[in-house]
């Protein structure tokens, strides 16, 4: 897996030592450093994903400013040096702001290296209305409760709220409350001190502290145990957290966004969400319509995904392919559409996507081959397409000598997608060449 480069400019040895300690817990980060006079040269060579400037005034002089992306620049100092607030950049003072800096780094690491966030597709009236509401509420501190079926893009819209807010240069931290074991969730949210429990060999900040100054997304908040919901409510009311084993609470400044694939009111009625927590989170409710209710978005979303996945190799979708996409019920919503486009990127070897390259998980009766000119498609069509996909992947992998990175590039898909495909093929009993 490739690592994102963080460039430290005008770094004193003591500052570099502190930063290395911060990045040790972020394995995908790679640190380089240089003086301000070499900023443009070194940036061109290593293509940094983030810049940390010890002396911003010197670093942006001459042609240095041209290589910087302001959102991914921060002022860095050691305790006792010039006040970080002296510049308009996001600022951290080490070691006191180590946790906040780590959160800021993780926030930018969440955006794939080499890509800017793709613009949101909003062709349907429902999505246009939703984006209008987001534009109005983003500048505020209001808590937002996003609800909708699984896969509709709740986290994408949560990130859009953060991106349009005054906190956009501060961390965006997301936590999937349903994916963390109950006995670990409290420490994950609020942090812990050293020795707070067996195995706690060092103090660690929780998600609230990592998001300090920014935005915290509580994904699937209705899955938090009721006893922990009471503690969460207190944190939201008092704006302070008490890590496990700590003697005193610590103040936090966090905007809260929450999501659930349940209807919030129904979750309260079912007894899985406290009413008082619901009203604290539901200051501004947003419901995201499923993809089947906003069909105007389907083809533009598909084209946008293909542009990203194939780097522009597939330029169009034929009318027949567009018709088949619109006809599908999309039970998995945008997430399912993404999977279909990733498969199509492998199966389609031309610049125009034909219906034959569209492989769905489970076609409804009569839907397979719709729009392809095949009146009675073979019941084994899906199986044949999967076999063809696997053969294309294996042939490309062999041509690349087993190199996964080159294989993904030749197929026009991401390395992550290739790993998923290979894992599925291995589970089906196919022999996969050893990785190089």
How much is the average pLDDT of 234-260?
89
Classify the C-alpha dihedral 363-367-372-377 as positive or negative. Answer: positive
Identify the pLDDT of residue 341: 92
Identify the pLDDT of residue 92: 81
Q: How far is CA 310 from CA 234, 306, 390, 400, 413, in A?
A: 47, 6, 18, 18, 6
More confident residue, 56 or 13: 13
Which pLDDT tens digit goes with each residue over 14-64?
888 888 888 877 777 788 888 777 777 777 677 788 888 887 666 665 555
140 pLDDT higher than 80: yes
278 pLDDT higher than 90: yes
110 pLDDT higher than 70: no
Nearest 5°: phi and psi at 69?
A: -110, 110
Identify the pLDDT of residue 204: 81
In angstroms, the CA 72 to CA 107 distance is 10
Answer yes or no: CATH 3.40.50.2300 is held by domain 4-97. yes
Identify the pLDDT of residue 293: 93
Asked if 94 contacts 77 with a C-beta cutoff of 8 angstroms, the reply is: yes
> Is there a shared CATH topology between the 4-97 domain and the 293-427 domain?
no
What dotted CATH number matches 293-427?
A: 1.10.8.60
Please, how many CA atoms are within 13 Å of residue 3, restricted to the half-sphere of its CB?
11
- 253-256: long-range contacts, CB 8 A cutoff, minimum separation 24: 253/212, 253/213, 254/208, 254/211, 254/212, 254/213, 254/214, 254/215, 254/216, 255/141, 255/143, 255/162, 255/165, 255/167, 255/214, 255/215, 255/216, 256/143, 256/215, 256/216, 256/218, 256/281
Spatial neighbors of 381 by CB under 8 A, at least 6 apart, are: 368, 369
How much is the average pLDDT of 2-13?
77
Largest Cα–Cα distance of the chain, in whole Å? 76
In angstroms, the CA 373 to CA 318 distance is 13
* Residue in 358, 284, 374 with CA at minimum distance from that of residue 324: 358
Identify the pLDDT of residue 333: 93
Identify the pLDDT of residue 67: 64
More confident residue, 347 or 4: 347
Identify the pLDDT of residue 367: 39
Asked if 190 contacts 241 with a C-beta cutoff of 8 angstroms, the reply is: yes
More confident residue, 387 or 385: 387
365 pLDDT higher than 50: no
Q: What is the DSSP letter of 193?
A: -
pTM of this prediction? 0.62
Q: What is the distance of C-alpha 240 from the center of its chain? A: 26
Q: Which of 45-59, 211-225, 229-243, 257-271 shows the lowest per-residue confidence on average (mean pLDDT)?
A: 45-59
What dotted CATH number matches 125-287?
A: 3.40.50.300
What's the pLDDT band for 113 if we cut at 50, 70, 90?
very low
Where are the chain's structural domains? 4-97, 125-287, 293-427
Residue given tokens 């076999």 in the structure block: 387
How much is the average pLDDT of 242-262?
88
371 pLDDT higher than 60: no
What's the pLDDT band for 179 if we cut at 50, 70, 90?
confident
Identify the pLDDT of residue 88: 55
What's the pLDDT band for 377 if we cut at 50, 70, 90?
very low
Q: What is the mean pLDDT of the chain?
A: 81
What's the pLDDT band for 374 if we cut at 50, 70, 90?
very low
What's the pLDDT band for 200 if we cut at 50, 70, 90?
low
What's the pLDDT band for 100 if we cut at 50, 70, 90?
confident
């Amino acid at each position: 897996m490739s690592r994102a480069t963080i460039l430290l400019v005008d770094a004193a040895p003591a500052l570099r030592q502190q930063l290395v300690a911060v990045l040790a817990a972020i394995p995908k980060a790679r640190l380089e450093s240089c003086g301000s006079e070499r900023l443009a040269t070194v940036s061109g060579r290593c293509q940094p994903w983030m810049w940390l400037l010890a002396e911003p005034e010197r670093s942006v002089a001459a042609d240095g400013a041209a290589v910087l992306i302001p959102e991914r620049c921060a002022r860095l100092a050691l305790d006792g040096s010039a006040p970080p607030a002296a510049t308009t950049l996001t600022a951290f003072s080490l070691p006191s702001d180590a946790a906040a800096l780590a959160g800021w780094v993780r926030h930018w690491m969440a955006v794939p290296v080499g890509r800017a966030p793709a613009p949101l597709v909003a062709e349907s009236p429902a999505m246009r209305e939703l984006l209008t509401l987001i534009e109005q509420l983003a500048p505020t501190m209001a808590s937002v409760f996003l609800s909708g079926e699984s896969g509709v893009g709740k986290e994408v819209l949560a990130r859009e709220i953060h991106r349009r807010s005054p906190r956009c240069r501060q961390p965006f931290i997301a936590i999937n409350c349903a994916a963390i074991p109950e006995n670990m969730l409290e420490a994950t949210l609020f942090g812990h001190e050293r020795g707070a429990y067996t195995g706690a060999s060092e103090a660690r900040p929780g998600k609230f502290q990592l998001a300090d100054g920014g935005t915290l997304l509580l994904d699937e908040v209705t899955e938090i145990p009721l006893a922990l919901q009471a503690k969460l409510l207190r944190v939201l009311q008092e704006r302070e957290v008490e890590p496990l084993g700590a003697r005193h609470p610590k103040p936090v400044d966090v905007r809260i966004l929450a999501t659930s694939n349940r209807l919030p009111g129904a979750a309260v009625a079912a007894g899985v969400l406290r009413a008082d927590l619901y009203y604290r989170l539901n200051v501004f409710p947003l419901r995201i319509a499923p993809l089947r209710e906003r069909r105007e978005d389907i083809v533009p979303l598909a084209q946008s995904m293909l542009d990203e996945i194939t780097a522009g190799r597939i330029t169009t979708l034929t009318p027949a392919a567009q018709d088949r996409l619109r006809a599908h019920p999309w039970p998995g919503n945008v997430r399912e559409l993404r999977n279909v486009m990733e498969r199509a990127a492998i199966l389609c070897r031309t610049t125009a996507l034909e219906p034959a390259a569209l492989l769905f998980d489970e076609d409804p009766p009569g839907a397979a081959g719709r729009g392809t000119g095949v009146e009675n498609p073979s019941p084994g069509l899906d199986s044949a397409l999967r076999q063809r996909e696997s053969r294309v992947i294996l042939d490309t992998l062999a041509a690349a000598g087993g190199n996964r990175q080159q294989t993904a590039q030749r197929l026009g898909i991401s390395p992550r997608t290739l790993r998923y495909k290979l894992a599925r093929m291995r589970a089906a009993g196919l022999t996969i060449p050893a990785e190089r």
